[in-house]
Amino acid sequence: MSDLLLALVADYGVPIVFCVTFLSCLALPVPSSLLMLASGGFAATGDLYLTSVFAAAFTGAVLGDNMGYWIARGLGDKMLVWFEKRPKRSALKRKSEVFMNKWGGSSVFFSCWLVAPLGPYVNYVSGITKFKWTRFVVWGILGEIVWVTLYVGLGYTFADNITSIAGVLGNASGFLTAIGVAVGLGLWLWKVSKPRLDKRRARPHI
């Protein structure tokens, strides 16, 4: 995969950076982070312009985020019908709405870079729940600035150790994502069990 990415960047340069970051934000399985590292390395050797790499990666990511948002928002009615067919799916939809309304801005921001594997799905949830687009755009842009700067910058700085850096960042991202999911599940279980505990405490002892 590393050799293929290096070949793609060498052959197609900046356009491939744009395409890959765009597709990654639609949840397609493309190694965007590793490609940004590689493109940063090529910029360090003078084969690509650093500003062009950054602009292509950033533009692709922002457009991908917004495409995912509007796809989900445009298909919202059909998806809502599908959600409402099952009580469990309907409950998940309501929880998503509450989550985005309460934590929407920070969720969009951190999903762009800190827990990047969740990013595309946050885009879709934002569209389905009709999260305010202007807030989505602002927080998404800020998050993508961090994401692109982090990976392109590391590729530029550590051009000779791209594979090692990619492995470290990939493991860290997966670890943080797992922590986020575990914390979310724990909070959900606590909320579900709390009313039952309150009912038991409220029962009169005979």
Q: Where are the domains of the chain?
A: 2-199
In the structure, what pLDDT confidence band is assigned to residue 128 with cuts at 50, 70 and 90?
confident
Long-range contacts, stretch 73-81, CB < 8 angstroms, 24+ apart: 73/127, 73/128, 73/130, 74/127, 76/127, 76/128, 76/130, 79/128, 80/128
Q: Which of 5-19, 39-53, 57-71, 94-108 has the lowest mean pLDDT?
A: 94-108
- Sorted by sequence, the CB contacts under 8 Å of residue 168 that are 6+ apart come out as none
pLDDT digits (tens, 9 = 90+) for 54-90: 999 999 999 999 999 999 899 887 877 776 777 876 7
